Amino acid sequence: MSLLDGMYTQFMSDWDAAGYHRVSDPQWSWGLRVLERLSPAARERILDLGCGTGRLACEILQRAPRVTVTALDRSWTMLAQATGSSNGIHFVQADATSLPFAAVFDAVFSTAAFHWVRDHDRLFAAIYGVLRPGGRLVSQAGGGPNLARLYERAAEVARRAEFARCFQSWSDRWTFAGVEATQARMQRAGFVDIEVWLEPAPTTFADARAFAEFTSTVCLRHHLDRLPPSDRAAYVSRITALAADDDPPFTLDYWRLNIDARR
């Protein structure tokens, strides 16, 4: 039995929220830097869009007195994990392109979420609609060449004979937008004072198991959805073996797309 076999015992139709909460220190670290840009003020109403397990929503509450935080995510498992450990936050399940609010927030804050939304025109139109006049968007997500090496390898392994049957009619489940395309979309939505920039964020893991657990939970979950449980460990093992030869080993080629703007 492979060392990784025990990690793939259930169908991954929604996020493994407990697993994500355990392994998401890279997202937490990036999110704290974005939170510094947000710099919440007293009494502001803030929407954490794509809140995940609520770690950063809790942090927002600590940064300013009497701030009101609404934490929204599409995933029920993420919200269930979040509500078990968070107080003083309003949790909402909804899609980022169809937000159930209108002109009520002083700021929309989002990290590691926008790249899971396919239609960014609808996304920015929805965000614009929930902001008050003068309200701001402060966000970060994967963009540009984000994880290009990992996903090229995932496609290469998917073409191998033992896996190819499961990846017929495969389509990517993410949108890694570039700077110019994002600026144009935001202008069409009506935003002003738009700043968009990319930054590299290579992330190295301690060993093969840590790399495999993280990628399985975060980056490759949709790939694993296509595979029967009996094949998932082997699929991730093939990709992990390729990452072992990188310099440094077990490094993910992350790029972050930062966005600041106002309504």
Q: For residue range 205-230, list pLDDT tens digits in order.
A: 999 999 999 999 999 999 999 999 99
Q: Point out the least confidently predicted range of 54-63, 198-207, 240-249.
A: 54-63
Q: DSSP letters of 39-84? A: ---TT-EEEEET-TTSHHHHHHHHHSTT-EEEEEES-HHHHHHHHT
- Residue 130 has a pLDDT of 98
Q: What is the mean pLDDT of residues 119-125?
A: 97
Beta strands in the chain (DSSP E): 45-49, 68-73, 89-93, 105-111, 131-142, 192-200, 203-204, 251-252, 255-262
Q: Point out the least confidently predicted range of 17-26, 121-130, 173-182.
A: 17-26
The kind and range of the H/E element at 23 are helix 17-23
CA distance 99 to 115: 17
Q: What's phi and psi for 176, nearest 5 deg?
A: -100, 90
- Residue 84 has a pLDDT of 67
- Residue 17 has a pLDDT of 87
Q: Taking each helix axis from N to C terminus, what angle separates 229-243 and 148-158, rounded to the nearest 10 degrees?
A: 130
Question: Binning pLDDT at 50, 70 and 90, where does residue 83 land?
Answer: confident
Beta strands in 163-247 (DSSP E): 192-200, 203-204
Question: Binning pLDDT at 50, 70 and 90, where does residue 86 land?
Answer: low
Domain range for residue 218?
Answer: 5-262
The one-character DSSP state at 167 is: G
- Model-level pTM greater than 0.75? yes
The count of structural domains within the chain is 1
CA distance 13 to 159: 22
Q: What is the mean pLDDT of residues 109-132?
A: 97
Identify the CATH number of the domain in which residue 132 sits: 3.40.50.150
- Residue 85 has a pLDDT of 65
Question: Binning pLDDT at 50, 70 and 90, where does residue 140 land?
Answer: very high
pLDDT tens-digit map of 168-191 = 999 998 999 999 999 999 999 999
- Residue 3 has a pLDDT of 37
CB 133 within 8 A of CB 263: yes
